[in-house]
Amino acid sequence: MTETILLSLGGSDPSGEAIDHALAMAERHGGTVHALYVVDTGRYGEPALSSAEILVDDVEDQGHDLLRSIADRGRERGVAVTTRCCHGRPNEELPAYAARIGADTVVLGGRRLPGRVRRELDRTADIVVPGAATVGR
């Protein structure tokens, strides 16, 4: 049974398909969605350590907006959604958070991901939850 669903939003432009997929799974199985947005410090740096603080703050704000939107969509469907926004490397934060919440399923979504990125996400998904896969266009 799928009770704890991790929806990873870190670093990718999540597809609506992935979000809908996670919410629909939770709705069908009476599960909870944990939406995780990771501000990729490998890509953007840390605000206190770089001159790109405005960019990092902007990315973080976009993450919070997206998480609020997903929580609202979940409420509309009667699905409990827990949100978390953090800084770090998605390939480290995702497995750690999945283990912390005891994720049964991980949904990784992105739009038109290049082959190399898609393969890396598939590998990460399989490490976190064997048999998992990415969802996206």
Convert the pLDDT of each residue in 40-80 to its tens digit. 776 655 655 555 666 677 888 888 999 999 999 999 999 99
Q: Of the given ranges (8-22, 62-76, 115-129), which has the lowest mean pLDDT?
A: 115-129
Report helix, strand or coil for 30: coil
Q: Domain of 102: which CATH number?
A: 3.40.50.620
Q: Which residue has the higher pLDDT, 54 or 131?
A: 54
CA 70 – CA 24 distance, rounded (Å): 12
DSSP per position, 1-28:
---EEEEE-TTS---HHHHHHHHHHHHH
CA 28 – CA 48 distance, rounded (Å): 43
> What is the residue-averaged pLDDT of the chain?
78
Number of domains in the chain: 1
Q: Of the given ranges (44-48, 57-61, 106-110, 118-122), which has the lowest mean pLDDT?
A: 44-48
The percent of residues in the chain predicted with pLDDT above 90, rounded, is 36
Say whether pLDDT at 92 is over 90. Answer: no
Report helix, strand or coil for 41: helix
Q: Which residue has the higher pLDDT, 24 or 114?
A: 24
- Bridge partner list, 23: none
Q: Which residue has the higher pLDDT, 83 or 40?
A: 83
Q: What is the pLDDT of residue 137?
A: 42
Q: Provide mean pLDDT across the span 106-112.
A: 68
**Domain assignment of residue 95, given as a range:** 4-136
CA 37 – CA 23 distance, rounded (Å): 16
CA 106 – CA 33 distance, rounded (Å): 10
Let me know: does 23 contact 16? Beta carbons within 8 Å.
Answer: no
